[in-house]
Structure formats: structure tokens, C-alpha cells
Homo-oligomer: A and B are copies of this chain.
Amino acid sequence: MNGAESLVRTLLASGIDTCFANPGTSEMHFVAALDSHTQMRCVLGLFEGVVTGAADGYFRMADKPAATLLHLGPGLANGLANLHNAKKARSGIVNVVGEHATYHLQHDAPLTSDIAAVAKPMSDWVRIAASAATLANDTALAVQAARTPPGRIATLIFPADAAWGEAVGAPESGAAPLAPVARSAVGADAIRSAVTMLRSGEPAALLLGGIGVRERSLELAGRIAAATGCGLVAEYNTPRLRRGAGTVHTDRIPNSVEGALGLLSKYRHLILVGAAVPVAFFATPGKPSVLVPEGCKVTRLAAVGYDIDAALEQLAGELGARTQAPARIAERRSGGLPLGKVTSESVARVLEELLPDDAVVVDEAVTSGRVFHGLTAGAAPHDWLNAMGGSIGFCMPVAVGAAIACPGRKIVALEGDGSGMYTLQALWSMAREQLNVVVVVFANRAYKILKAEMTRMGGSRPGGSADAVLTLDRPDLDWVSLARGHGVEAGRAEDMDTFIREFRRGLAASGPYLIELVI
């Protein structure tokens, strides 16, 4: 048994059965080992940003890591932007990255680079396997690292001679899985402090993030709100928020500094539950970075890696809230659909009306999608996934991973035309795997968020340099052709009537479908 074989067997023994891959020559022994293990599902991405984004989406929906297979430093580099997003989302991923044979490194061959240095900024854990003999154990360590709550980016670099060398001493079925690290229990002090705030008589809110916006946490938070009258607020971006009719509602912190401070100014106490202290996405001259209103006290019930559900259970117990009935979102579907001119509000109405039960929405509609979140809460119950790291090119790759993790659910990818262009190769993986994804591309033909920013600063000259780097027209991108080029069926809509027809068509399709919605 060679090292590559021991690597694959250890991944399988550790419960990793999905590998998003973009291999090269230095990973061929690993690919050969995969070939004889049909339990490992291999999904090819034609660009590494697709591979790492898919692993992020997979973790969010499967609650376990996938492996990625990446080719040397440049291959890993191409995957970094979506690893950045995954790291900020606290997704667990095991990156398996090939390296030159150890004795070849000194010769500075063309593809030589410092892979560990490339990995570090976007990884929580990095290791270079020393030899074939240690590779199985290194793999078990990588999986354990990736599974460490709330989830970590583990990057295992394996030199080619570790892959092809004899795995002396490695067990036949791979190294034994290492015991997973459990989520830490919240201390009594943290519970007490939250109780004190909630009983202070002053307005308080739970600020929820991480797994604190999943169904069970929301349920518990809703009971606490019913018992104490506290507010429920969710971070602006969350990795996987449960929403829709029958779910407990949270107010989303607005993206703007003014909006965030406006919402939070209602409260004198903020209790962090898997959330961070809210901060501005970017600094703006004369505006604060930290978005906690003056005089509002902040306490932390549970950091993002802690046992959030148990903490909320305990808190509910202390407050006598366990049997309270939480307020729930009412269903808002009426059958009436807006026709005519395309507006963001009309699109939101259609989403609320037509979103199928238990859909997964991946949201990167940037400018066009600002209002969607607020206007679609009454849809059928669904999960809503945001980019946590702010790096665009997140949506379609994450949709790939979510679809692989949840074959029975419909994935709705809300994509901007600017952001979609970073990782459009995800469309091909959707086509090859016949994934259950509807992609809606909002074609405003500009980096509209940047144009808004520029307008605030005093605008740019028509035809000037600023205009040249902020518009996506001349020529217009043709997303229907782009989709078909990748093997994905597609249609274009320029009015709501057509959009509704196209969206229904996409929802009914068994494979992927893309709609270019001109807005």
C-alpha cells in the first residue's frame, strides 16, 4: 500500500466520502487511489474556486467536511478566495494539496512555490506530510482539525514521494479516526450574566450567529423572547439561517452603519449567541467601526464554537421559558404574483410565493438582492446561505456543494452578474452532476454596488476610467450563452411574466437551469 492509498483509506475511515477535485500531475497517485474506492464521491471542478466553494456549501448542509484535491501552490492559490469565505463561515474542510517530491524541491522547477505559505492566510491548520509512513496519521489529524467546532480549514500538503512511497506500518483500513473535539459547554457565569440582562427590565436582545440561527436554536430563542420580551436579532450574514413560515423570526442587522445602529439603538443589552460584536463591513471616514450604540451593554452567552443549543436550553430553563410558545412567522403566500416591469420587490414577491418547501437559497445577489431577505420571510420553510467573508464568486460553487449534500432539496442560487463571473465554471459541475439548482443571475450590467459608492464620492465622468472599470456593458455578458457553453439549459427574462414562467421551469427541472434576469 502506498501513501496515497493510505490517505484515501484514512479519509474514508474518518467519514469523509466526498472529494471536490481539480488535480494535476503531482496528485496522480492520489487519483489512482481514489479510482479503486467507489465509496468516495469525486466531483470535478474546472477551476479551484469552484472546488473550495463547493466544499464550503457541502459542510454547511451536511455538517461534516468534504475533502478538496488541489494541484500545488497555484492550484491552492486559485481556491483561496472561497477558502477565505469558508473560514469566515467556520466551515470545516480538508484540503489535500499535492507537492513536488521532497528531493525535487531544491531544484526550483517551474511549479515550485512555498505551498504552506500560500495555505496559511486562509487555513486554521497546515501540515506538510513528512513521508508515506506518516501520511495516514497526518490525514487523521487533518480530519480531526477540520471537524473541530465550529469547523476549521485544514490543509494537508503531501509530497509526491510520500504519495508513491510504501506506507510502512499504516493499518490496512487507514489510520483510525481521531476522537472528535466536542463543542465546549458554556460556563455558569455566562448564563448568569445573560439572565441578569434579560431580567433587568431594560430592553435586551439576543444577537444570533453561527449555528445559533438553525431551527433548534431559533426555537429556543423564540421561547426566551416569549418569556422575557427580548428582541431576536441575526447577524447580517449567517452561514445557514432557517427561515420561512412557521419559523421563529429574527431581525437581520442591516448592512449600512446607520441601519445597524438604528436597529440596535432599541436595546440597552445585547447578548451574543454564536455572534460577534457587530462591525462595519468597511470603514467610512467619520463613521464608527463598531456598531454597538452608545450605552448598550454587551455580554457573550456563547462563542461560535460553543454548545449553543445547550446554552440556550439552560438559559430558557433559568428563565422558566422552556414551555413558552414562540411567535412564528405567518405564511404569506396568496397566489397573487406581480407582472410587468422587473423590480427587486417583485422578484422578492415571486420568491416568497414560489420557493419550494425546504429549499436552500444561496444569496449573492449583492445590489439587486438587498431587499430579498426582508421580503421573503413568509415563504415555505427554507435555509438561507450568505457569503461570510465578503469575497464574491461564492454563490454558484456553494450551490454545487449544497446540492451534493442535499440531493432531495431544490437549491436556488441568487447571483449577481458581476459576482457570478468570478466562478462561472461552477455551471459545468452542475451540468455534469445534474444538480438540482436554479440559478437566477441579476443582470444589471455593472458593479452596481461600486457605482453607488462612486456616486457617493462625487461620481465619475461618462467614458472615464472609473466608468470603464465599474460597468459590465460594452459588451453585455450573455448569460444564456455562457450557461449553454457549460452545458446548462437557460432562459432570459426582461419582464416579470417571463421571469415567473422561467422560474417555474427551473423549479420543475430535475437538473440545473439558469435564468438571466435583466434588471
Residues of A within 8 A of B (CB): 21-26, 28-29, 31-32, 34-38, 40, 42-44, 46-47, 49, 69, 73-75, 77-78, 80-81, 84-85, 88, 100-101, 103-104, 107-111, 113-114, 117-118, 120-122, 160-161, 164, 237, 276-277, 279-283, 285, 289-290, 387-391, 393, 418, 421-422, 424-425, 428, 431-432, 447, 449-450, 453-454, 457-458, 460-461, 464-470, 472, 474-487
**Given the complex, which residues of B lie within 8 Å of A282, measured CB to CB?**
25-26, 100-101, 104, 109, 111, 160
Given A23-B450, A31-B469, A428-B475, do A77 and B74 touch, yes or no (CB 8 Å)?
no
Q: Which of B31, B161, B422 contacts A47 (CB 8 A)?
A: B422
What would 8 A/B residue contacts be, using CB atoms closer than 8 Å? Answer: A31-B450, A35-B466, A35-B467, A46-B422, A113-B121, A117-B120, A424-B424, A478-B486
Give me the 5 closest cross-chain CB pairs, A-B, nearest first: A475-B487, A482-B485, A481-B485, A74-B391, A77-B80
Integer count of this chain's copies in the complex: 2
Per the bound structure, the CA–CA distance linking A479 and B25 in Å amounts to: 25
Given A25-B282, A120-B117, A485-B481, do A110 and B425 touch, yes or no (CB 8 Å)?
no
Per the bound structure, the CA–CA distance linking A422 and B74 in Å amounts to: 11
**Given the complex, which residues of B lie within 8 Å of A453, measured CB to CB?**
25, 28
Tell whether, in the assembled complex, residue A34 and residue B113 are in contact, meaning their CB atoms are under 8 Å apart: no
Tell whether, in the assembled complex, residue A21 and residue B120 are in contact, meaning their CB atoms are under 8 Å apart: no
**Given the complex, which residues of B lie within 8 Å of A477, measured CB to CB?**
428, 485-487
**Given the complex, which residues of B lie within 8 Å of A101, measured CB to CB?**
282-283
Per the bound structure, the CA–CA distance linking A397 and B40 in Å amounts to: 35
Tell whether, in the assembled complex, residue A432 and residue B391 are in contact, meaning their CB atoms are under 8 Å apart: no
Per the bound structure, the CA–CA distance linking A164 and B483 in Å amounts to: 40
A395: min CB distance to chain B, Å: 14
Tell whether, in the assembled complex, residue B38 and residue A465 are in contact, meaning their CB atoms are under 8 Å apart: yes
Per the bound structure, the CA–CA distance linking A42 and B466 in Å amounts to: 9
**Given the complex, which residues of B lie within 8 Å of A113, measured CB to CB?**
84, 121-122
A116: min CB distance to chain B, Å: 9
Which of chain B's residues has its CB closest to A34's CB?
B465
**Given the complex, which residues of B lie within 8 Å of A114, measured CB to CB?**
121
Tell whether, in the assembled complex, residue B110 and residue A283 are in contact, meaning their CB atoms are under 8 Å apart: no
Which of chain B's residues has its CB closest to A475's CB?
B487
Per the bound structure, the CA–CA distance linking A181 and B417 in Å amounts to: 44
A241: min CB distance to chain B, Å: 16
Tell whether, in the assembled complex, residue B479 and residue A285 are in contact, meaning their CB atoms are under 8 Å apart: no
Q: Which of B31, B425, B484 contacts A466 (CB 8 A)?
A: B31
Which of chain B's residues has its CB closest to A104's CB?
B283
A9: min CB distance to chain B, Å: 14
Tell whether, in the assembled complex, residue A281 and residue B31 are in contact, meaning their CB atoms are under 8 Å apart: no
Q: Which of B29, B73, B84, B107 contacts A84 (CB 8 A)?
A: B73
Which of chain B's residues has its CB closest to A418's CB?
B46
Tell whether, in the assembled complex, residue B422 and residue A279 are in contact, meaning their CB atoms are under 8 Å apart: no
Given A74-B389, A121-B117, A389-B74, do A280 and B109 touch, yes or no (CB 8 Å)?
yes
**Given the complex, which residues of B lie within 8 Å of A22, measured CB to CB?**
469
Tell whether, in the assembled complex, residue B450 and residue A80 are in contact, meaning their CB atoms are under 8 Å apart: no
A61: min CB distance to chain B, Å: 21
